[in-house]
């Protein structure tokens, strides 16, 4: 017996964004407040220029990306060129979710989001594990 309705639709960009925002809201303070200042972009796939810059040939290889300067490297003297941004890519996330088959979509989106926030905060593996038990 199938647990998915025959009328079910694939999770859309809005659902992925909602799960990512929920992940941010679940962070402990002071990380939650700081993470709310990071822009969030949800796209089906990484743009070609990102794939080229990362020397990737397969768009399914990238589920998320942090684009910015980590807080550990920022100076009050720096002039921001653009907001720090986390990109999440729906189709690669859904592909990984289907391949794994043993985690919820919310768990996977949270894991990808935490991983990208780790770049922003300059977290160590131990720091990540304290926030994302899946990392352990």
What was the pLDDT predicted at 136?
54
In a domain, residue 47? The reply is yes
In a domain, 93, yes or no: yes
Query: Is the pTM above the cut of 0.85?
Result: yes
Residue 113 lies in domain: 13-69+82-135
Number of domains in the chain: 1
Is residue 129 domain-resident?
A: yes
> 3 — phi, psi (to 5°)?
-95, -5
> Is residue 74 assigned to a domain?
no
Which CATH number characterizes residue 33's domain? 3.30.2010.20
Which tens digits make up the pLDDT trace of 24-62? 999 998 899 999 999 999 999 999 999 999 999 999 999
Name the helix (H) or strand (E) containing 64.
strand 64-67
């Amino acid at each position: 017996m199938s647990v998915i309705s025959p009328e079910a639709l694939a999770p859309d960009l809005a659902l992925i964004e909602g799960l990512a925002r929920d992940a941010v809201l679940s962070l402990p303070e002071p990380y939650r407040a700081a993470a709310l200042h990071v822009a969030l972009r949800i796209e089906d796939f990484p743009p070609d220029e990102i794939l080229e810059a990362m020397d990737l040939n397969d768009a399914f290889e990238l589920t998320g990306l942090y684009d910015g300067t980590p807080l550990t490297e920022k100076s009050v003297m720096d002039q921001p060129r653009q907001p720090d941004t986390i990109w999440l890519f729906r189709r690669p996330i859904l592909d990984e979710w289907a391949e794994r088959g043993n985690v919820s979509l919310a768990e996977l989106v949270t894991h990808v989001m935490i991983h990208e926030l780790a770049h922003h905060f300059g977290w160590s593996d131990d720091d990540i594990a304290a926030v994302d038990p899946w990392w352990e």
